[in-house]
Structure 1
Amino acid sequence: MSAGETIDRAAVAEAAGRAMWADDQASRGLGMALIETGPGTATMTMTVTPAMTNGHGMCHGGYIFTLADSAFAFACNSHNTRTVAQHCAVTFIASGQRGDVLTATAREISRTGRSGICDVTVTNQAGTVIAVFRGHSRSLGGAVAADHPAL
C-alpha cells in the first residue's frame, strides 16, 4: 500500500467473511446464514428445526450458543487476522421455539493487542431477546483472506 492510500475496512471484513464462510461446514450444516459482516461486527440467522428441540420442546441451548459463537467468530475475524475463542459465556433470557428464526448480532467492544471482547445478542423474529453471549478472543496471526491486508 502506498502512502496516502486508505484501507477499506468494510471490504476487508467482507473478504474475511467470505473466506471463512467457504470453509465453515458447521454453521452451514446447521442451516445458518451469514447476513452481513463489517469491521468488528457480524449478523447471522438460523431457523430452529424440530431436530434442534430438547425434551421440553424448546430450542436446545447448545444450538443457541453455537449460533452466537459463529457470529462472534465472524465479528472477531473481520479484521482479517485469524482469531479464535479463548473464553465464552452465555446467559439464556427466554426460550427459542420450533420454527423461530433466531438472529445473532455480534459487536466487538474491545480489541487490544492479541485479545478482544465481543458481545452477541440473540433475538427471535419478534425481536425478543433469547440470549446474550460474551466472547473473549485471541488472535493467532496470519490472514483469513490471503488477498487482503490483516488489520
Structure 2
Amino acid sequence: MSHNSMNNAHPILGEGAASSEQFQHVREMFGADIASQAIGLKITVLEEGHCEGEFLVREDMCNGHGTCQGGFIFTFADSLFAGACNSHGEIAVAAQVTIHFIAPVLKGQKVHGVAVEKQRYGRNGITDVTLYCEDKVVAEFRGTSRIVRGVPQ
C-alpha cells in the first residue's frame, strides 16, 4: 500500500472521497494510476457504482484547432468509468467502450464528469459517463466492464 493512500495527500482522490475501508482497492488503483495523475484528474465523489471528478484543460492538451485533444477527454471519462465499476471492491476492467464528442473544450476550461453504473449482471456491468463544461454536455461515454480474477498481467 502506498503511503499516499493513508492520508489526504492522495494524488487523485479529493479530501473525503473513497475514505471508507470499502474503497481500499480503489484508493490503491488510483494511487498507482500515472495516466490519470498526468491529466490532473481529481475525484470528488466516489460511492458504490458512482464516481465524479474534474480536470483542467492545459495548453499541452490542446490540438491544432486549439481545443482539448479527444484522447485527454477519453482518458478522463475512462478513469471515472474505472472508479465507478471498481467501487464494489473487485477488479473490473473495460471490455468495450464508446465515446461521443459533442462540443469542444478549450484551454483553461474545467471539465466535470459523472459516471453512473447502470447495470451489473454476473461479472459484467454497464456504466455511463457524462462530461460537462460550464454546465454544457461535451461528451457521452458508455463502458462495459468485466470483473477479473487478480490484477491483469
Flag whether TM exceeds 0.5 (same fold): yes
TM-score, normalisation: structure 2: 0.82
Aligned partner of residue 66 in structure 2, secondary structure: coil
What letter matches 1:55 in structure 2? G
* Offset at residue 20 of structure 1 (A): 1.5
TM-score, normalisation: structure 1: 0.83
What letter matches 1:34 in structure 2? I
| Distance across 2 between alignment mates of 1:13 and 1:38 | 10
Q: Does 1:122 align with 2:151?
A: no
Q: Does 1:65 align with 2:74?
A: yes
Q: Matches of residues 105-144 of structure 1 in structure 2 within 5 Å? A: 105-124=114-133, 126-142=134-150
* Offset at residue 39 of structure 1 (A): 0.3
What letter matches 2:48 in structure 1? P
Show the counterpart of 2:95: 86
What letter matches 1:109 in structure 2? K
Q: How many residues align?
A: 133
* Offset at residue 42 of structure 1 (A): 0.5
| Distance across 2 between alignment mates of 1:12 and 1:89 | 32
| Distance across 2 between alignment mates of 1:108 and 1:43 | 12
| Distance across 1 between alignment mates of 2:25 and 2:109 | 28
Return 5+ residue gaps in structure 1 as ranges: 1-9, 144-151
| Distance across 1 between alignment mates of 2:38 and 2:75 | 12
Contact 1:13 1:37 in 2 (8 A): no
**What is the Cα-based RMSD across aligned positions, in Å?**
1.6
Q: Matches of residues 46-57 of structure 1 in structure 2 within 5 Å? A: 46-57=55-66
Indicate the larger mover: 16-25 or 34-43: 16-25
Contact 2:23 2:89 in 1 (8 A): no
Aligned partner of residue 20 in structure 2, secondary structure: helix
Q: Does 1:39 align with 2:48?
A: yes
| Distance across 2 between alignment mates of 1:103 and 1:18 | 20
| Distance across 1 between alignment mates of 2:22 and 2:149 | 16
Show the counterpart of 1:104: 113
Structure 1 pair 12–138 and aligned structure 2 pair: CA distance change class (3 A): farther
Higher relative contact order (CA 8 A, sep 6+): 1
Return 5+ residue gaps in structure 2 as ranges: 1-18
Structure exhibiting the larger radius of gyration computed from Cα positions = 1
